[in-house]
Structure 1
Amino acid sequence: MKVSWEKTETNRGVLTVEVDEKQLAGALDRAFKKVAKDVNLPGFRKGKIPRPIFEKRFGVESLYQDALDILLPEVYPQAIEEAAIEPVDQPEIDIDQLEKGKPFTFKATVTVKPEVKLGEYKGLEIEEKDFSVSQEDVEADLKQMQERQGQLIAIEEGAIEEGDRAILDFEGFVDGEAFEGGKGEQFTLEIGSGQFIPGFEEQLIGMAPGEEKDITVTFPEEYQEENLKGKEAVFKVKIHEIKRTELPELDDEFAQDVSEFDTLAELKSDVENKLEEQKKNEEESYKRNQLVEKAAENAEVEIPDVMIEREIDHMVSHFEQQLSMQGVNLEQYSQFTGQTKEDIRAQFKEDAGKKTRNDLVLEAIANTEKVEVSTEDIEEELKKLAEQMNRELDEIKRLVDLQGGRAQIEGDLKIRKTVDLLVSNSKNAA
């Protein structure tokens, strides 16, 4: 096989491949065996037609597509390995010559992983940031404990406040006509959640059980439903019930209910200790992230759009998983917020570009510094994983090997070691 690579743009080029006639003949043989099984021709049993008669009847050209389907998946990976390139997208294949008895030649237009020109990545300085634990932090943590122990109580008298849950009926009208999806009965809405169109929830504040009201809002210009974009809508609303969270008192009894401690003072001390540990971890993450960001800023790299789009795919998929844990799918989220899928993808674009750039730069640093991951490193990581999951080490190894996860572990460890290198060589290193 003959292979040549010619770069035509920064991250694109043409891979020209020539496969000898013997390899093509082998693919045609395999294609014939596949096709002949289903051929019915008078005078021959099904699947038993001789090759010469088949080609005379149907033409050898009828085998070309199946031969391509067999040959390309085999020769393309070999060609990119020989050309020493790393594609990041599916190639655009153009067949130059496909004829029995002659070499098979094709061109593949390929987008490849970009080259990174590293700048300064050693001796970087981290901007100082306060990670001390304040009394306000402790009080805020205790407040969250209170809220988790709180009980929803129906309010007999009074009006809706921020944070309340209102049970209501609503129906929306545009130009006097009801619109699809604009009606709900006995709907529970947390005030301030941003679940409804901007301006809707704010106008519920002050309403009392049994009260009815017309609420006027304007759909956002970027709303997903074309016929509602920028339109003024009137919602007829009736409040059935108001529920408010009643918080327990912060005292020794509360401490005994939520922890193993006897007094509130002991609970506060424990909260402070845990927050200090948390802040310590946050400080470590901050330092590492800062150094990666600075190293990436100092590098030069032109990232193909397809790599950013692929990272957006991963981020949207992760976002969908988070939504599903809350009992909401992406379509429902779009309806609630008025955002299209394109809007959601656009929100991830900046972060996706930054992450892709950071990953490419860290990979380049790892290659430059010859960062290696040993078998012992992987073994230690598997032990930690087994401890975290409370599973036997052998079981974790089987699961990882079954899913082909060792390469992922090795890659993650290499990145971690590379960031360790940035930290140890920074100006802030102890």
Structure 2
Amino acid sequence: MQVSLETTSGLERRLTIVIPAEKVDGEVAKRLNDMSRRVRLDGFRPGKVPAKVMKRRYGLGARQEVLGEQMQQAFVDAVTQEKLNPAGAPTVEPKADEEGKDFEFVATFEIYPEITLGDFATIEVERPVADVKDADIDEMVETLRNQSKSFEDVGRAAENGDQIVFDYVGTFASGERAGEEFEGGKAENSTLELGSGRMIPGFEDGLAGVSAGEEKTLELTFPEDYHSEELKGQAVAFACKVHKVQAATMPELNDEFFARFGVTEGSEEAFRAEVRKNMERELRQAVKGKVKNQVMDGLLSTNEIDVPSPLVAQEIDRMREQAVQQFGGAQGGFDPKQLPAELFEADAKKRVALGLIVGEVVKQREVKVDDDRVRAMIEEMASAYQEPQQVIDWYYSNEQQLSQVKYVVLEEQVVDTILASAKVSEAEVSYQDAIKPAAPEAAPEAAEEQETAEEA
């Protein structure tokens, strides 16, 4: 077998492979001979079909099968000989196929990049430092009460914080389509809490002071940055009919309320202790996540690498499927491939690059999964449930879930490895600032559909 290697561009390689004629022809003849023992043809006894007849009837098919197997094996042998690490299946192009002559084909593919890790000491990380204070717990308790509030009908005009039950119909207010209803601008028996900020500017303010049975038309303008191209900056009118005005009733801090959150014994003190425990868990996870993000960004900035396009394509497909599942499209039979690849390409490249770099850190620093840390992580996750031991047992009986936890732990150990050399500083922040997600980078508009009347 003759092999020639060419670097076409970046990670792309082209192998030209020549398989000797005698190897192909000999394998074809052998295959036809084996087939002749099993083939039954009219006019010939079993096992007595002449070679010429076998070749005429089955030669082409046998040759195609042999060539497929030979190309596959020759490619494996060639990349082994040339010490290449393909990042995906090759594109194969046969150059010549004629009996009695050497068979030549070209295989084009991309390889994994060679990674030389940068200096971890150049990576800068700021670790947030925060405590859960009594005031933070007070705020969380009020948030939980607010989330559990109920609404009851009242006979007065609506005020901020009240909920109204109403119908509305939205129409264009100007231009050729004046008076025409627009898609998504109509609802019956819809509920809206005034002051929630759900609707476009002016909508909720316009309904302040309405009473049950009242009808009111709101003349509004959609924001210029609204997600719907059809409605950006459009003057519209919402014809509203109010059925009910309901005032909010906050739940009391009693045993019934505490039981909703799994606290069945003790008093308010026990409830606040449970709230503190959950907030401290959330705080630890938030700090860990922010530190990890900074480390990963540092890895990317100190290790710029080319990423193989087949791996990026695989990651894009995975992200498409995740997006469809997240927005419920899978139930409707929506094909993830209908989502433009460009929506995910930048993030997919980043994920692939990080995966390759982290893998190289694991390899070079010989990082091994710490089983004790795996158990500690599972126990912490399980502590949020009523029956922690059942959750722990479930993880250890589910190999796929356990593998995911192990990978997360391995990433944490990589982060620790880098932090040991990085420039780490600390910044005291409030609990709220510590758990607040980092500001996202500029990204393409999401494909998520929202109610037309809600603000983007």
TM-score by length of 2: 0.66
Structure 1: which amino acid aligns with 2:303? A
Change (3 A) 1:262 1:109: same
Q: Give the CA deviation at 1:212.
A: 4.5
Paired residue for 1:86?
85
Q: Give the CA deviation at 1:110.
A: 1.1
SS of residue matched to 1:106: strand
SS of residue matched to 1:391: helix
Paired residue for 1:313?
317
Q: 2:412, 2:234 → 1: CA distance?
A: 52
SS of residue matched to 2:114: coil
Checking the alignment, whether the CA contact within 8 Å between 1:373 and 1:413 is kept in structure 2 is no
> Any gaps of 5 or more consecutive residues in structure 1?
332-339
1:186 pairs with 161, 171, 188, which one? 188
Report whether the alignment pairs 1:7 with 2:12. Answer: no
SS of residue matched to 1:127: strand
Paired residue for 2:250?
247
% identical aligned pairs: 20
Change (3 A) 1:391 1:296: same
CA RMSD of aligned residues (A): 5.2
Q: Deviations over 1:399-428 (max 9, x none)?
A: 53xx7986x777666544333322333454
SS of residue matched to 2:128: coil
Where does 1:39-188 land on structure 2 (aligned, <5 Å)? Answer: 52-53=52-53, 55-56=55-56, 60-61=59-60, 67=66, 69-122=68-121, 124-154=123-153, 157-159=156-158, 164=163, 166-170=165-169, 172=171, 175-176=177-178, 178=180, 181-182=183-184, 184-186=186-188, 188=190
Paired residue for 1:263?
267
SS of residue matched to 1:143: helix
Change (3 A) 1:280 1:237: same
Q: 1:62, 1:155 → 2: CA distance?
A: 83
Where does 1:195-274 land on structure 2 (aligned, <5 Å)? Answer: 205-206=207-208, 209-210=212-213, 211-213=215-217, 217=221, 228=230, 232=234, 234=236, 236-239=238-241, 240-241=243-244, 246-250=249-253, 254-255=257-258, 258=261, 259-260=263-264, 262-274=266-278
SS of residue matched to 2:240: strand
Checking the alignment, whether the CA contact within 8 Å between 2:151 and 2:246 is kept in structure 1 is yes
Change (3 A) 1:200 1:175: farther
Structure 2: which amino acid aligns with 1:358? L
Q: Give the CA deviation at 1:96.
A: 1.5
Q: Give the CA deviation at 1:14.
A: 0.9
Change (3 A) 1:182 1:255: closer
Checking the alignment, whether the CA contact within 8 Å between 1:31 and 1:66 is kept in structure 2 is no
Paired residue for 2:354?
358
Q: 2:196, 2:40 → 1: CA distance?
A: 67
Change (3 A) 1:276 1:20: same
Change (3 A) 1:257 1:229: closer
Q: 2:220, 2:66 → 1: CA distance?
A: 65
Ranked by relative contact order (alpha carbons within 8 Å, sequence separation 6 or more), the top structure is 2
TM-score by length of 1: 0.69
Q: 1:112, 1:201 → 2: CA distance?
A: 56
> Any gaps of 5 or more consecutive residues in structure 2?
380-388, 427-456
Between 172-181 and 129-138, the greater mean CA deviation after superposition: 172-181
Q: Give the CA deviation at 1:119.
A: 1.5
Q: Give the CA deviation at 1:182.
A: 4.1
Where does 1:396-415 land on structure 2 (aligned, <5 Å)? Answer: 396=397, 400=399, 414-415=410-411
Q: 1:158, 1:238 → 2: CA distance?
A: 15
